[in-house]
Structure 1
């Protein structure tokens, strides 16, 4: 395992393409990433995180244009994407091709999709394979001592010790400042619905769509 700087973007992208696991910083917290089409690598993440297979990893698209090649975007989904991407918003989107849904099973159908800012977004743009990502923490641990996903390198190391996951690269981004989730919107149907609140406020979503947004 190597700890690298954000300047070593190509090294991180090549590791993803090789089917390895890496951990990268975001403004929110550290994320564990791999090739979204590599079922074995994705399964390793599910197992290490104790994450239910029904709780999808995120598909990190390099751009809205690239996203539209694989997914169907309703009018409301496109409005949200244009307003908040790259950013801290994820959309549940239907695949254009059923074969893609099977190939990228780890990110679900509909797929949890985002265009991310910062290093994670640059990684997706530089990689020749699609990037799957999730937070660096054990799933479902909401006990009194649970501090949530890792926001420092020390917390990343603690997560790796607990999960027994092997990663090839950790990108050192210092301290992740916001320690909050992405907002998730279900855009599988024409009328978008709120799944989870996060850094993109519900009022901002409502203002973009010009209507109140109900929880799904």
Structure 2
């Protein structure tokens, strides 16, 4: 078992984290979406360590994080569509799936053998500083055991991965609180692969074109597993009257709810609160308990919130 170090989000902490990455180690880093489990994306053994620490299936690809658009062309073909999306939304909670460039040096484990690669430029200043200090591509899925609730604080990371990773950079809670939106940008029409912290409506408005739904059930990007983000107990959705013993999580006015995503029915607040609420409800319910969520609208960020809730409630 490893000794997991809690690093400060300051220059000495970032230098220590970069040294761990250069040595092939694993560091949980904060982003604006969730905490990610980072490793050198060009180091086969380091990337394999991500899968081992998370107990993640090897067929599930990873996202490569880079500090700026100039570096993306080393590893992928930046299509005209990707250029437009990058100009509008990078840095930020958007991941683009692009054609993989030969000879870029990424570990094949990152792409799960696909001819595409998922890339994101995070906006979080601590993530940006670490990427600059490290000076290379970092593979970073969410820093939690595979299939479980995503971490939005360093404490969440340690609860799931302490003893399996080398360090976590503690920079407080994540601002967005939902994983990035993932788009296939290999062609002329953007295809939504995963709803996330950037609303599809905002993407469509910026591009002046519709965002299409994927035409296949094949896993081509992270976050597409049917069961994901799961607490220990059973989850019911769209509940307006919870059963006895259920931990009820409200949205808007829900008298009697133990927790709430947003008392004022604000979707931005609900997105930032979602994984906090799942962790809190899981602790209240205990092993074998039950959690019920009030209905959440399906527009804007509600699309991503409901996506995560459906996966949390899926059979496992």
TM-score by length of 1: 0.88
Instruction: Provide the rounded CA distance (Å) in 2 between the counterparts of 1:209 and 1:83.
Output: 9
Larger radius of gyration: 2
**1:145 maps to what in 2?**
none
Equivalent residue runs for 1:162-173 within 5 Å: 165-167=164-166, 169-173=167-171
Specify which of 195, 198, 219 is matched with residue 197 of structure 1: 195
Specify which of 134, 157, 164 is matched with residue 141 of structure 2: 134
Q: 1:86·1:121 contact (CA, 8 Å) conserved in 2?
A: no
Q: 1:170 to 1:140 in 2, by over 3 A?
A: closer
Provide structure 1 residue ranges, at least 5 long, that are not aligned to the other structure. 142-147
Please state how far the C-alpha of 1:31 moved relative to its aligned partner: 1.3
**1:154 maps to what in 2?**
155
**Which gives a bigger RCO, structure 1 or 2 (Cα 8 Å, sep 6+)?**
1
Q: 1:72·1:93 contact (CA, 8 Å) conserved in 2?
A: yes
Please state if 1:74 is matched with 2:79: yes
Please state if 1:95 is matched with 2:96: no
**1:212 maps to what in 2?**
210
Provide structure 2 residue ranges, at least 5 long, that are not aligned to the other structure. 215-316
Q: 1:182·1:198 contact (CA, 8 Å) conserved in 2?
A: yes
TM-score by length of 2: 0.61
**2:121 maps to what in 1?**
115
Instruction: Provide the rounded CA distance (Å) in 1 between the counterparts of 2:98 and 2:137.
Output: 16
Residue correspondences, number: 205
**2:68 maps to what in 1?**
63
SS at match of 1:46: helix
RMSD between aligned residues: 1.7
